[in-house]
Chains A and B, each alone.
Chain A
Amino acid sequence: MRSQARWTLAAAAAAGAVGELVRRRVSARSPSPPRVARNAPLPPMTTQSSPGQIADLQQAYGADMSAESALPPGQGGTAG
């Protein structure tokens, strides 16, 4: 009776350890993705010669490019 109890306790401990290991591995492999609408409409994309719009560069780099952006009409909208 005592040995059966020990076996049960050991099995339970092992199962718990394995369960925790599996939980950790599953957790590591599958981080909770942010909740998103899978059927959300796709925004339009743009292709142009790099480096993209001046506004994009200013936003991404945080650079003040206003003095260098004095391009003639018709060319100021994009750098690409």
Chain B
Amino acid sequence: MLDDRFPTMGTVARVVRDADGDVDVASLFAEIDRRLSRFDATSDLSRLNADPRPRVRAAPLLRAAVAAALHAASVSGGLVDPTLLGALRRAGYGESRAHVSPASLSRGLRAAPRRHPARPDPAARWRAVVVDDRAGAVCRPPGLCLDLGGSVKGWAADLLAGRLERYGRCAVDCGGDLRLAAGGGAPWEVRVRNPFTGAVAHTFRVRAGAVATSGIDARLWERGEGDFAHHLIDPATGVPAWTGLVAATALAPTALEAEALAKAALLSGPAAGRRLLRARYGGVLVLDDGTVDRVA
């Protein structure tokens, strides 16, 4: 099989497939980076965020990615909110951290404030964002900036896998968000990595569908002595969420939905996260104390 890694979206994508057919994998990732990165001032997304007009013409790729972000917000009841760019910057995530190793997870957990579940922003500003495909535009109140980081990796995995599966079996892993197609043969084996030990916490076997993991361990930094922050923002408070969960893994038919469910479960905390995953397609939770909870 073909098995390659691509640096993209601030992470590493792994693409395993029987054949490429007419799909240019590297070019697709390059196009996504070029158009959708919030760290590139010339990207379509950055231009949209900087535009003072309420209606902005947008290329199909940006419109599709924004629509996917709105779907993730809807699926998660507003917990995966694409309008938190200002809060992310205030938390210290204004620049890419692709080349920066994370801070110590155990130190971060020891220094973290009292745990409580995150909640959606009552203002639900994401509902004011509209993708108008007929007009080829994105509409939003001027000044409302979008960050697609909460959904773009799962969406990209779905996009690429949808093209590759015409040519055989494929697995597209965009930074831990996987879309898989095994045809009628043996299923893919997907190992869930324990963020504390690096060991395998659980193994799924998937013939067709998606698995995604969200966690606070990979994007964790120390702002000052004993003051830790990460990239998963509580929409209600605008600050990093410490919910009692370090990582959540979700199963779903699509990687976009799996990514949204994983983030929503993590932001919901152990009890509500367990209920959410159980009500959908199942998954795995890793608690602050290292407990691994398989939710079926």
Residues on A facing B (Cβ under 8 Å): 29-31, 33-34, 36-52, 54, 56-57, 59-61, 63, 65, 68-69, 71-72, 74-80
A70 to chain B, nearest CB (A): 8
A50 touches B175 (CB 8 A): yes
B39 to chain A, nearest CB (A): 14
B101 touches A36 (CB 8 A): no
Interface of A is mostly: loop
A74 touches B214 (CB 8 A): no
B106 touches A47 (CB 8 A): no
A43 touches B16 (CB 8 A): yes
B112 within 8 A of A: no
Cα(A38)–Cα(B117), bound, Å: 46
Residue of A nearest to B196 (CB): A74
Chain A residues contacting B11 (CB-CB under 8 Å) are 50-52, 57
Chain A residues contacting B167 (CB-CB under 8 Å) are 33
Q: 21 A-B residue contacts at CB 8 Å?
A: A33-B20, A36-B168, A42-B169, A42-B185, A46-B190, A47-B178, A47-B190, A47-B191, A47-B193, A47-B212, A48-B193, A49-B214, A50-B176, A50-B218, A51-B218, A54-B101, A57-B7, A68-B100, A69-B101, A71-B101, A78-B195
B27 within 8 A of A: no
In the A-B complex, the 7 residue pairs with the smallest Cβ-Cβ separation, listed nearest first, are A49-B215, A77-B198, A50-B175, A51-B11, A48-B193, A68-B101, A60-B7
Interface of chain B residues 94 through 143 with chain A (CB within 8 A):
98-102, 104-106
A75 touches B105 (CB 8 A): yes
Cα(A61)–Cα(B10), bound, Å: 10
A49 touches B99 (CB 8 A): no
Cα(A52)–Cα(B13), bound, Å: 9
B20 touches A57 (CB 8 A): no
A48 to chain B, nearest CB (A): 4
Cα(A79)–Cα(B100), bound, Å: 10
Cα(A57)–Cα(B5), bound, Å: 10
